[in-house]
């Protein structure tokens, strides 16, 4: 049995919908999004293997100086790259991150940041995406790259 044969619970459907996962992609996330995406306030506006777009609030995802935490930027980047890779993998394969790197370009102190994830390689076993995160003025906050392996899904 694979995860794709699981019936989605109303709670999972509500979570996926609330965070912007298109209904046609719900079967790819039978266990929901995990706890981190909702906790960070990440909201998707676009999701495909080739491109994903999401926003995330700066507050409360800040470090002690009141700046967007660099780790929060990496969470946003890894989230988009992994979700896009998971879409590419379909119901038979799931994405697992094997490498992520990020360069922080400028601080964000308020409002929202927007991340745009673009596929570099969509292979049978490896996916690579770049993610550009900008502030509300369109200025670069972070540039990241993630590599995901696609592995067979197993029943939990």
Name the residues annotated as catalytic: 78
CA atoms of 141 and 154, how far apart (whole Å)? 37
Residue with tokens 């989230």: 79
Token pair belonging to 40 = 């960070």
Torsion angles phi and psi, residue 46, rounded to 5: -155, 140
């Amino acid at each position: 049995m694979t995860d794709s044969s699981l019936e989605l619970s109303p709670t999972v459907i509500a979570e996926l919908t609330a965070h912007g996962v298109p209904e046609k992609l719900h079967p790819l996330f039978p266990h929901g999004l995990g706890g981190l995406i909702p906790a960070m306030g990440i909201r998707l506006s676009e999701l495909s293997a080739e491109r994903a777009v999401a926003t995330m609030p700066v507050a409360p995802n800040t470090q002690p100086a009141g700046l967007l935490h660099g780790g929060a930027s990496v969470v946003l980047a890894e989230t988009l790259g992994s979700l896009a890779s998971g879409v590419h993998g379909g119901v038979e394969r799931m994405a697992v991150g094997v490498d992520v790197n990020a360069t922080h370009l400028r601080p964000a102190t308020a409002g929202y940041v927007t991340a745009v994830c673009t596929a570099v390689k969509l292979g049978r076993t490896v996916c690579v995406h770049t993610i550009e995160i900008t502030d509300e003025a369109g200025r670069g906050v972070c540039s990241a790259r993630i590599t995901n392996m696609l592995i067979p899904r197993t029943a939990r």
